[in-house]
Chain A
Amino acid sequence: MIKLRLAKKEDVSGVKAVLIRVASILAAIFLSGLLILLIGHNPIETFAAMLEGSFGSAYGIKNTVTVAVPLLVIGLGLSIAFSMRFWNIGAEGQLVMGAIWGTFVAHQLPENMSRLLALPIVAVAAILGGAFWAVIPGLFRAYSRTNETLFTLMLNYVAIKFTVYLRCELWKDPNAMGFPQIAPLPSSAHLPKLFGIHIGWIIALILVVVVHIFLRYSKLGYEIRVVGESERTAHYAGINVRKVIITGTIISGALVGLAGMIKLTGVSWTLSESIGGGNGFTAVMVAWLAQLQAPVMILTALLFAAMEQGAMAMEISVGVPASVSKVIEGLILFAALSSDLFIRYRVVIEKSKKPERLNAQKDSRKEAVK
C-alpha cells in the first residue's frame, strides 16, 4: 500500500516560494481554461481576447492602469489592517463613504475655486469619511472583540444602500429631468491627467513607498505587526493593543477613503452606489496574494485590473460572460492558498509494510469506544 504523508520543510528559500506561487497561479489559469472549454468556448481564443483587451492597445493599457490604481490604493490600506489580523472586508463601504463625504464637500466649494485648493479639500473629506467608516468596527473590535469580518461586511451594504437613498431622494439632482442621479462634481474637483491617465497613479506609487516604509520601519508599523503576530505578546511587550487597533483601522480606512476620492474625482465625477464597482472585494485578493508586501501589490493590482478590463473585452468579442473573470479570480485564490502547503510541507511517498495490522488496530480501537 502506498501512502502519502506530509513532512514539515525547513525554511524554504524566497525564490523557491515565489516559484511555487507562480506555478500555482499558472495551474489556476489552466483550470480556468478547462472550465471555459466546458461551457463551450475556445479557451485560447478567450485568453487572447482578455490579453488583447487589457494590454493590446494604448487604450487598453490606459484603462487597465486606471482600474489598477484604486485597487492598489485599497490594497495598501487593507494590508495595514490585515497586518494586525483585522479582517477588514469593508473596503467597498469605506470607499463609498469616502466618496459620499468627498461629494458633499465638493458641492459646498465655490464654483471658481482653483483645483490646487479644491482637490486637497475633497481628498481630506474622503479620507475622513473612509476612516470614520473603518474605525467604528475598529472600536468595537478593540473594546469588545466584536467579529470585524461581519461588522465591516455589513457596513458595506449600509453605505451602498444609503447612497441609493441619497441618489433617489435626499441629493437627487433637480436639473436631471427627474432622472435619479446626484449632481456631477464641479470641474474644479476633477483630477488632472498625466500621460493620458489621471494622476491617481502617481499618488498610488508614492503611497506604495510610504506604506512599505511605514509597515517595515516605523514604530507604529512594528507595533501593528506584533499585534498581528499575537495580541498577547504585544500586550506583554507593553504595547497598547487597543490603541494600535484603533489607529490601524483609521489609517486603513483613510487610504481606502482616498481611493474613493480618486475614483470619484478621476473616473466617475458623480457619486452613485456602484462607484466601488466591487474594487473593495477584489483588493482583498490584491493584498492577500501579494502577502501584504506593498511593492508586490503593484503586480497583483495590475493582474486583477487586467482580468477585469480583459473580461469586458472578452464578453464583447468572444461572447464569454464577464462573470467568468470572477471564477478565474476565485480559482487563482484557491490555487494560491493551496500553494502554501507545498511551501511549508514536503509530500513524502511511503510504502507501509503491514497495512492489515494497522487496520486491525484501528478496528479494535473503534470497538473499545463502543
Chain B
Amino acid sequence: MTGSMMVALFIASAVRMAIPLLLGTVGESITERSGHLNLGVEGLMMMGAASGYVAAYRTDNILIAMLAGMAGAGLGSLIYAFLTITMRTRQDVTGLALTIFGTGFANTLGKSLAGTTTSVRIRAFAQAQPLKPNLTAIADVSVLGPVLEFISAAFLQHNLFIYLSLLVAILVYWYLFHTRLGLHVRSTGENPSAADASGIRVTSLRYVHVVVGGMLCGLGGFYISVINVGTWLDDIIAGRGWIVVALVIFIRWHPLKAIAGSLLFGALEIVGFRLHQVPGIGSLPIFSQYFIDLYPYLMTIIVLVITYARKKAWQGPASLGQPYFREDR
C-alpha cells in the first residue's frame, strides 16, 4: 500500500470515529445554547446505544433502531429537563445523576444481548458506500487519478449516516444562527429574563431544546453500538460522552466548528493504534498498545487547559448552568 493510501484510510477511520462525537457535540451545543449545562451526555449516549441496539436486534430494521436510540435518550433528557426546569434542581448534580441512571439503565437493558451481533442486513447497511465513485476509468491519469482516489478513499467510501450527520451539523448551525427561533434559543441562554420579557416562552423553549439535544446524543450512542461496534458491550460509550462535554467548550458552542473538533478527536482515538503498527515506533513505551489508550483523555485535558488559559476567552452562553425562576425576577 502506498503512503498516501495509508493516510487516506487513516482519515477514513478518523471520520468513522468522529461521527458519534459530532452528533453528541452538536446535541449538547443545542442544549447549552438554551442555557442548560447537561453533564449527563455519557448517560444519554449509553441510553441511546442500548435502546438502539435492542431495537436493531429485535426488529432488524435500521430506521426503527435509530428512532429507538433517539427515544431512549429523549426519555433521559426529558427526566433531566423535568428536574432542572420544573423541579429546579442543580444542573450539574442532576447531570451526574443522569449519567449514573443512564449507564445503569443501558447496562440492564443490554445485559441479555451481550455477545450477540447485529444481523447481516444491518451490517450490510453499515458497510454500504452509496457515494463511492467508480474511478477505474481515470485511475491511470497521472495526477488526477491518485488525487481523486485519495479523496474517494478518505471521504467518499462511508455509509449514509456519516453524510446525514454532517448535514445535521450544518442544519443545526443554520437553525441556531440564521433563524428567528434560533435567535430565541440563544437569547434564552444568554439572558432568560430579558427573553421572557420580550415574549419568548423560556420554559417550553428550554424543554424542547434540552430534549432535542439529548436525542442527538442518543443518535451518537446508537451509531457506536449499532454501526461502529455491531454488538453490545457493558459501558460501551467508555467516556466518550465526557469527551463530548469538553469538546463543546473547545468548539465554542458552534455546530460547524464541531465538525473539525470531532474529527480531531476521532483521529486521536485511532492515531495510537496506527502508530503502534509502524515498525520502530511501536516498540517505544509511550506508543505501547496499552499506553496509547490514554491519549484521547490526555488530549481532552490539554484542550481544556489551553481553552481556559486564553484570558479573554468567551466562556459560553452567559446564563449557562444558571436556573431561571420567573418568580425570582
Contacts and interface: CB of A to CB of B under 8 A. Distances in A.
Interface string A153-164: 111011001101
Given A146-B305, A341-B87, A87 B294 contact: no
Given A154-B301, A324-B108, A330-B104, 16 more contacts: A39-B108, A144-B305, A146-B309, A147-B308, A157-B294, A165-B290, A165-B291, A326-B105, A334-B79, A337-B87, A337-B90, A337-B93, A337-B94, A338-B87, A366-B199, A369-B199
Given A144-B309, A158-B298, A337-B87, A369 B198 contact: yes
B190 interface: no
A140 B89 contact: no
B156 interface: no
B239 interface: yes
Contacts of B108: 39, 321, 323-324, 326-327
Contacts of A341: 87-89
A140 B90 CA distance: 24
Chief secondary structure at chain A's binding surface: helix
A222 interface: no
A4 B245 CA distance: 35
23 contacts: A6-B327, A8-B327, A140-B305, A144-B308, A147-B304, A150-B300, A155-B301, A157-B239, A158-B297, A161-B293, A169-B288, A323-B234, A324-B108, A326-B107, A329-B101, A329-B104, A330-B104, A331-B101, A338-B89, A340-B88, A340-B89, A341-B87, A366-B199
Interface string B277-290: 00000000100101
Contacts of A284: 96
A323 B100 contact: no
A164 B242 contact: no
Contacts of B245: 150
Contacts of B293: 161, 164-165
Interface size class of B (residues with CB under 8 A): 35 or more
A154 B242 contact: yes
Interface string B160-171: 000000000000
Contacts of B68: none
A127 B90 CA distance: 31
Interface string B73-98: 00000010001000111101110111
Contacts of A219: none
B89 A170 contact: no
Contacts of A39: 108
Contacts of A154: 242, 246, 297-298, 300-301, 304
Contact of A281 (B79, B100, B111, B309): B100
B288 A165 contact: yes
B40 to A, nearest CB: 10
A338 B97 CA distance: 12
A74 B116 CA distance: 37
Contact of B301 (A145, A158, A170): A158
Contacts of B89: 337-338, 340-341
A206 interface: no
Interface of B: 39, 79, 83, 87-90, 92-94, 96-98, 100-105, 107-108, 111, 198-200, 234, 239, 242, 245-246, 249, 285, 288, 290-291, 293-294, 297-298, 300-301, 304-305, 308-309, 327
Nearest to B79: A334
B201 to A, nearest CB: 9
Contacts of A233: none
A285 interface: yes
Nearest to A168: B290
A281 B245 CA distance: 18
B329 to A, nearest CB: 13
A162 B88 CA distance: 39
Contacts of B249: 147, 150
Interface in A292-345: 321, 323-331, 333-334, 337-338, 340-341
Contacts of A323: 103-104, 107-108, 111, 234
A133 interface: no
Contacts of B96: 89, 284, 333
A13 B163 CA distance: 58
Interface in A53-71: none
B83 A337 contact: yes
A191 B50 CA distance: 41
Contacts of A114: none
Contacts of A330: 97-98, 100-102, 104-105
A365 interface: yes
A291 B280 CA distance: 54
Contacts of A170: 285
A39 B297 CA distance: 36
